[in-house]
């Protein structure tokens, strides 16, 4: 079996498993979607968060940024992990006690303000778009390399696989 | 009511300590004082650069564990913990 066939086989199999899990464990309500019915062990939950941190954006895009920019790239590095500290101390415990699932929802209710909620949404969109650009570029490059296809096709495959797994996060 | 206040005071104190450390290792050592710290070399690496690239991240991870641990204890002391173990 050639390397090419092996690669296709492994990638295909992985996708099949992901899609299978996605169908099997479909989250039916918002609560199920975010907290998986409260049945996820803290360690497993932490592992999921860690997997999020060690994504294509950190492995490929971040490494590239630092190789390219040198010291200037360290602001991304500090912000990346430094943000987790702020999240762990200032938001996560209260979000949990409040029983809300999204940060804008929490901020809007906590400060009794639609404006605060909108500001939170804008921040969220800016941050996640920046992140997703890095992520998608990384996925496209990775898939185009090891499936030996065009960058655009690789990106499509990557997006399809990630959206099918995202629907099964729960 | 004062019990709640004590809990919140202790919480704020812990949070302030952690955030001061957070600020010092990233903004102060990693950005503002980077030139001065770069004169010091440890194991061949410039100290300021090391803080920006690695030191701050190690500290962040340690901070999260420290905070979670202390908060867990605090929750127990004030009887507001959620797990029954």
Beta-carbon separation of A81 and B61 below 8 A:
yes
Q: What is the pLDDT along chain B (85 residues), one digit of tens a residue?
A: 577 888 889 889 999 999 999 999 888 888 888 888 888 888 888 888 888 888 899 999 999 999 989 988 888 888 777 665 4
Beta-carbon separation of A86 and B26 below 8 A:
no
Residue of A nearest to B29 (CA): A78
Measured between beta carbons, the chain B residues lying within 8 angstroms of A93 are: 71
A103: tokens are 């940060």
Beta-carbon separation of A74 and B67 below 8 A:
no
pLDDT of residue A57: 75
Task: List pLDDT tens digits, range A132-154.
Answer: 888 888 888 888 887 788 888 88
pLDDT of residue B78: 81
Instruction: Give the pLDDT band (50/70/90) at residue A32.
Output: low
CB burial readout A89-98, b (16+ within 10 A) else e? beeebebeee
Measured between beta carbons, the chain A residues lying within 8 angstroms of B78 are: none
Beta-carbon separation of A74 and B49 below 8 A:
yes
For A3, the 3-state DSSP assignment is helix
Strand partners, A89: none
Closest CA to B70 of B4, B18, B3, B1: B18
Task: List pLDDT tens digits, range A119-134.
Answer: 999 998 998 888 888 8
Would residue A97 count as lying in a domain? yes
Would residue A143 count as lying in a domain? yes
Beta-carbon separation of B18 and A93 below 8 A:
no
Task: List pLDDT tens digits, range A41-76.
Answer: 778 777 877 877 777 777 777 888 888 888 888 888
Q: Are B74 and B7 in contact (CB under 8 A)?
A: yes
Residue of B nearest to A42 (CA): B83
pTM of the model: 0.75
Rounded Cα–Cα distance for residues A153 and A144 (Å): 7
Query: Testing the interface with A: which of B38, B64, B70, B74 to mutate, by most A Cβ within 10 A?
Result: B64
C-alpha distances (whole Å) from A102 to each of A30, A84, A105, B46, B60 are: 11, 16, 5, 41, 24
Beta-carbon separation of B71 and A93 below 8 A:
yes
> Looking at the predicted structure, is the pLDDT value of residue A169 above 60?
no
pLDDT of residue A118: 93
Would residue A68 count as lying in a domain? yes
| B79 Ramachandran zone, left/alpha/beta (phi>0; psi -120 to 50) | left
Closest CA to A81 of B85, B30, B38: B30
Beta-carbon separation of B53 and A77 below 8 A:
yes
The domain limits of chain B are 2-77
- Give the range of the structural domain holding residue A74, as residue numbers without chain letter: 41-158
Instruction: Give the pLDDT band (50/70/90) at residue A33.
Output: low
pLDDT of residue A142: 82
Structure ipTM: 0.80
Distance from CA of B44 to the nearest CA of A (A): 16
Measured between beta carbons, the chain A residues lying within 8 angstroms of B52 are: 71, 74-75, 77-78
Domain count, chain A: 1
Nearest by CB to B53, which of A74, A82, A85? A74
């Amino acid at each position: 079996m050639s390397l090419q066939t092996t690669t296709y086989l492994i990638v295909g199999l992985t996708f099949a498993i992901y899609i299978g899990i996605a169908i099997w464990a479909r989250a039916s309500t918002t609560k199920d979607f975010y907290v998986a019915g409260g049945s996820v062990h803290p360690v497993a939950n932490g592992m999921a968060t860690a997997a999020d941190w060690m994504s294509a954006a950190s492995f490929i895009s971040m490494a590239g940024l630092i190789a390219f920019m040198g010291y200037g790239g360290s602001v991304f590095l500090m912000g990346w992990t430094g943000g987790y500290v702020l999240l762990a101390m200032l938001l996560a415990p209260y979000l949990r006690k409040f029983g809300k699932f999204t940060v804008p929802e929490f901020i809007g209710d906590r400060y009794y303000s639609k404006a605060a909620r909108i500001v939170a949404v804008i921040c969220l969109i800016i941050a996640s778009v920046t992140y997703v650009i890095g992520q998608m570029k990384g996925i496209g490059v990775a898939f185009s390399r090891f499936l030996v296809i065009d960058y655009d096709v690789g990106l499509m495959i990557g997006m399809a696989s990630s959206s099918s797994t995202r629907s099964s996060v729960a | 009511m004062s019990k709640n206040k004590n809990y919140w005071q202790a919480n704020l104190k812990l949070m302030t300590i952690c955030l001061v450390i957070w600020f010092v290792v990233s903004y102060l050592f990693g950005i503002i004082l980077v030139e001065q710290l770069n004169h010091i070399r440890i194991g061949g690496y410039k100290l300021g650069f090391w803080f920006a690239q690695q030191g701050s991240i190690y500290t962040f991870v340690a901070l999260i564990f420290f905070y979670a641990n202390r908060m867990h204890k605090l929750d127990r002391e004030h009887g507001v913990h959620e797990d029954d173990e």
